[in-house]
């Protein structure tokens, strides 16, 4: 079953320069899709279009079969942004519970507190976010996605900056989401993480999908995901 379906999406911030050019991709239930591409290739713009944080200009996007502008679509996806801008005046518990209310789901404080403890934030669930470190804010975003357990979790470089122990645990938790049939769109420059975790890769360059397929096939063809990118950057097609 397709959870996210993007077809023919184009976008320009200034109405002149295309940032996304006819992008199509699908994310199936029970899969992790890695979104890769050089800085400025349009990954975050694509994610913001998908989540209707930027109003799409052409093409279609559906989430769980619903047009992405609909309330039903919004309930399908959890979004972990690349920044760590969380409301400073809330505690971790208030933040998690506010999100839960917005999504209309019930979140058990004990379960969320236990996740805080597992991510080495024991005893910090009721502290103000203002007093959290950068990594703790990132982990709070991650915990919120883990307790919300939406059909699709979109992660935009959110795992950058968390320590190796948290990353190890995050990988396990993301695998558990996938095992439950949930989908994950994971945007990161950490190619080794994607080689371990992602079922499929979508490679965006200059706003276009230039490669897409099963991670294992792309690695077999190019040697590694880094080599896939290097091959593209060195290719004539990019220079022209
Ligand atoms: N709000 C904005 N207004 C105008 N241009 C923007 C805006 N946000 C992004 N851009 C431009 O759109 C292009 C794509 O940016 P985007 O952030 O989507 O890339 P990215 O692939 O996520 O990059 P990175 O890997 O550096 O995070 C870049 O040229 C960027 O300067």
Q: Which residues contact 60 (CB under 8 A, 6 or more apart)?
A: 5, 6, 7, 8, 9, 67
Please determine, for the modelled complex, whether the ipTM score is greater than 0.85: yes
Choice from 34, 40, 57, 186 to test ligand 1 binding pocket (greatest atom count within 8 A of CB): 40
pLDDT tens digits, 155-181: 998 788 889 999 999 999 999 999 999
What are residue 210's phi and psi, to 5 degrees? -105, -15
Instruction: Compute the half-sphere exposure of residue 225: CA atoms within 13 Å on the CB side of its CA.
Output: 27
Cβ of 83 less than 6 Å from ligand 1:
no
DSSP 8-state secondary structure symbol assigned to residue 152: E
Q: Residue 157 CA: which ligand 1 atom is closest? A: 27
Q: What is the pLDDT of residue 2?
A: 96
Which single residue is written with the structure tokens 């999504």? 103
pLDDT tens digits, 117-148: 999 999 999 999 999 999 999 999 999 999 99
Is the predicted pLDDT of residue 100 greater than 80, yes or no?
yes
Cβ of 139 less than 6 Å from ligand 1:
no
What's the pLDDT band for 239 if we cut at 50, 70, 90?
Answer: low
Cβ of 43 less than 6 Å from ligand 1:
yes
What's the pLDDT band for 41 if we cut at 50, 70, 90?
Answer: very high
Choice from 42, 161, 209 to test ligand 1 binding pocket (greatest atom count within 8 A of CB): 42
pLDDT over 70 for what percent of the chain? 99
pTM of the model: 0.95
Distance 39 CA to ligand 1 centre (A): 8
What's the pLDDT band for 84 if we cut at 50, 70, 90?
Answer: confident
């Amino acid at each position: 079953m397709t959870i996210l379906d993007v077809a023919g999406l184009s976008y320009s911030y200034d109405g002149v320069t295309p940032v996304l050019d006819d992008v199509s991709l699908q994310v199936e239930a029970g899969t992790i899709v890695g979104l890769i591409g050089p800085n400025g290739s349009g990954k975050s713009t694509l994610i913001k279009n998908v989540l209707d944080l930027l109003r799409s200009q052409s093409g279609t996007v559906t989430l769980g079969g619903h047009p992405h502008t609909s309330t039903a679509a919004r309930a399908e996806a959890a979004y972990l942004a690349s920044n760590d801008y969380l409301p400073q005046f809330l505690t971790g518990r208030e933040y998690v519970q506010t999100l839960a209310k917005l999504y209309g789901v019930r979140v058990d404080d004990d379960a969320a507190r236990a996740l805080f403890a597992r991510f080495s934030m024991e005893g910090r669930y009721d502290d103000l976010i203002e007093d959290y470190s950068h990594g703790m804010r990132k982990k709070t975003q991650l915990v919120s996605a883990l307790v919300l357990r939406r059909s699709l979790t979109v992660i935009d470089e959110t795992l950058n900056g968390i320590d190796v122990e948290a990353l190890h645990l995050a990988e396990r938790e993301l695998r558990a989401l996938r095992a439950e049939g949930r989908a994950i769109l994971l945007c990161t420059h950490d190619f080794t993480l994607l080689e371990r975790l992602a079922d499929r890769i979508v490679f965006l360059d200059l706003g276009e999908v230039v490669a897409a397929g099963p991670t294992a096939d792309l690695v077999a063809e190019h040697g590694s995901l880094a080599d896939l990118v290097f091959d593209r950057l060195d290719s004539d097609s990019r220079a022209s």
